[in-house]
Structure 1
Amino acid sequence: MANHKSALKRIRTNEKKRVLNKYQHKTTRNAIKAIRLATDKTEATGKLPSVVSMIDKLAKKNIIHANKASNLKSKLTRHVASLN
């Protein structure tokens, strides 16, 4: 166990960040899943900008890699474009 005050504080802040990152990542994954399961093009088109924004925020905070973010956005955009 840590002996220094700063190390104890680091443990606390790391835990807070971990929980927040986990929440944001899970929320984004659920939003992506909702778009993938959508059958209506107008519904999916309406959700796409907010999901792209969520993905960009995750990449900016290094929760996901920038290339993964690009791949996700590309695949989602192609999926929405292919809907009828």
Structure 2
Amino acid sequence: MAHHKSALKRIRQDEKKRVHNKYYAKTTRNAIKALRNATDKEEAAKLYPGVVAMIDKLAKRNIIHKNKASNLKSSLALKVNQL
């Protein structure tokens, strides 16, 4: 257990950030799943820009790696174009 006031504060901050990051990562994963399960091309094309924005935001904030973000966007673009 931490003994310094600053270390206790850092623990509180880290927990708050962890929960915040987990929420946005999970929300994005659900949006990706919805896009992958879309069967209509128009529906998928409508969802795609929003999902890409969410992925970019996660990468910008270092919640996911930028290369992972690129791979996700690429695979989703292929999926949308194949419909």
- Report the TM range for the smaller structure's normalisation: over 0.9
- Residue 81 (str. 1) matches residue 50 (str. 2): no
* Residue of structure 2 equivalent to 1:30: 30
List structure 1 segments (4+ residues) > 6 angstroms apart after TM superposition.
none
Segments of structure 1 that go 5 or more residues without pairing to the other structure are none
* Residue of structure 1 equivalent to 2:64: 64
- Residue 12 (str. 1) matches residue 12 (str. 2): yes
Residue identity matched to 2:23:
Y
Residue identity matched to 2:48:
L
Q: TM-score, with normalisation over the residues of structure 1?
A: 0.97
What is the identity percentage for the equivalent residue pairs of Structure 1 and Structure 2?
72
How many residue pairs end up in the alignment? 83
Query: RMSD over aligned Cα, in angstroms?
Result: 0.4
Shift of 1:68: 0.4
* Residue of structure 2 equivalent to 1:3: 3
Structure 1 Cα separation of the partners of residues 47 and 5 of structure 2: 45
Q: TM-score, with normalisation over the residues of structure 2?
A: 0.98
Residue identity matched to 2:35:
I
Segments of structure 2 that go 5 or more residues without pairing to the other structure are none
Structure 2 Cα separation of the partners of residues 9 and 40 of structure 1: 49
Structure 1 Cα separation of the partners of residues 80 and 44 of structure 2: 6
